Chain A
């Protein structure tokens, strides 16, 4: 499937076909998620109403990590297998990932004030998330610094692969160091320690954000493909 969709025109046809469904799913899940967040989720016994920030903060954090991993995987495919769409997908994902990382930091900061009494603290997870934002900004600036897009993509791919070391630090920082940030409540390897009345809105909001991100990614990939087609036409006209 991955190599079948390497054909840009085939990818555009595929994304045009599923885009409407992504939009419907996003609207549906976001509405249901917000309903669950505000109407069905109880306040936390310690944090009170501010626990509702979790339903927007945690999905943003998950996706900030997921998109960086995706960029690193695409970079690997681009450098090793020379997959035609891998660079384009990296370019499309980087600004979205940076926005979600920024959203994570801002909502985390707002959540931290009533919970910890401070807007910011230099603990392992927050610092490594900030480092992730710098990595995203570095990748975006580097890939756009060259007139030759291929060169920019290659350098950005190398930078993203080198920066992958930051991801396990973010993920396990709360376990390795004695940090202010709470440890993970949801794990693949054990049952979640979070109540179902809070877990359900969290999962629903996560999927809503997923479909939104997929929609935006497909739009940006289509833009990149069109940009490259335009560049080819213009360069053939000049020659």
Chain B
């Protein structure tokens, strides 16, 4: 089982290396959106400091929706998804390997994007660390949900709006928890409870996505 999983993972990593431009599209979209947000809100550093979490999460959300298609559409169009199923790979492992590779690909640009955010949004070290951990713990759930919405709309033409409509009800609770801020919280303390909630979200999302993804893949490949 682990051998099969590592084979799938290797395949996904190889394919992603071939499509490394995903990282540049993600990073450029992230940067441009960040700049637009900062210009829109204005030069008030206090305001920017208050809103850094929602800004980063919103930009991440839109970026993931934009680029998540690349991880599935190519495989569907060239028949690889069907072939993998016929070769006996379990659908859950296919989805899980795609989710892992998507997470790794998206985490790489964050190594320089998050420190850049800290400069533009005037974050101190504690806030920077808190945001980084937030992103690392919260993005797997975002990625899993986006995979499901992509699978549901993979056979629909012009599916971006439909993807957004499907994703919204599941992203809203996640966004509420990731961007919530205790009014008594100071910027020198890292809120561990929030991280536990994000881990909980991931643990709930993972089996639901794997199970529903299996049903959808079976239907897609019929």
Contacts and interface: CB of A to CB of B under 8 A. Distances in A.
Direct contact between A and B judged by beta carbons closer than 8 A: yes
Interface of A: 79, 127, 131-132, 134-135, 137-138, 141-142, 145-146, 151, 154-155, 158-159, 161-163, 165-166, 169
Given A79-B215, A155-B216, A155-B219, A163 B169 contact: yes
A131 B168 CA distance: 8
B155 A159 contact: no
Contact of B172 (A127, A146, A159): A127
Contact of A142 (B152, B169, B173): B152
Given A145-B162, A155-B216, A134 B152 contact: no
B215 A158 contact: yes
B154 to A, nearest CB: 10
Given A131-B172, A131-B173, A145-B162, 14 more contacts: A127-B176, A134-B165, A141-B165, A142-B153, A142-B166, A145-B159, A151-B155, A155-B152, A155-B216, A159-B166, A162-B170, A163-B170, A165-B204, A169-B173
B148 interface: yes
A219 B156 CA distance: 29
B208 interface: yes
B80 interface: no
Contacts of B155: 146, 151
Interface of B: 148, 152-153, 155-156, 159, 162, 165-166, 168-170, 172-173, 176, 204, 208, 212, 215-216, 219
B221 to A, nearest CB: 12
A98 to B, nearest CB: 12
A141 B212 contact: no
A138 B212 contact: no
Contacts of B152: 142, 155, 158-159
Contacts of A165: 204, 208
Which 10 A-B pairs have CB atoms at the shortest separation, nearest pair first? A131-B169, A134-B169, A145-B156, A138-B166, A138-B165, A135-B169, A134-B168, A158-B212, A154-B219, A155-B152
Residue among A127, A137, A161, A162 having the largest count of chain B Cβ atoms under 10 Å: A162
Chain B interface helix/strand/loop/mixed: helix
A154 B218 CA distance: 11
A155 B154 CA distance: 11
Chain A interface helix/strand/loop/mixed: helix
Nearest to B158: A145
Contacts of A138: 162, 165-166, 168-169
Given A127-B176, A141-B162, A158-B216, A146 B156 contact: yes
Contacts of A132: 169
A142 B162 contact: yes
A161 B156 contact: no
B210 to A, nearest CB: 12
A151 B154 CA distance: 12
Nearest to A154: B219
A127 B148 CA distance: 23
Contacts of B153: 142, 145
14 contacts: A127-B172, A135-B169, A138-B169, A141-B165, A142-B153, A142-B162, A145-B153, A146-B156, A155-B152, A158-B212, A158-B215, A162-B170, A163-B169, A165-B208
Nearest to A155: B152
A145 B165 CA distance: 13
A122 to B, nearest CB: 9
Contact of A166 (B156, B169, B204, B208): B169
B148 A162 contact: yes
A72 B19 CA distance: 39
A80 B60 CA distance: 36
Nearest to A130: B172
B191 to A, nearest CB: 18
A211 B24 CA distance: 57
A138 B148 CA distance: 13
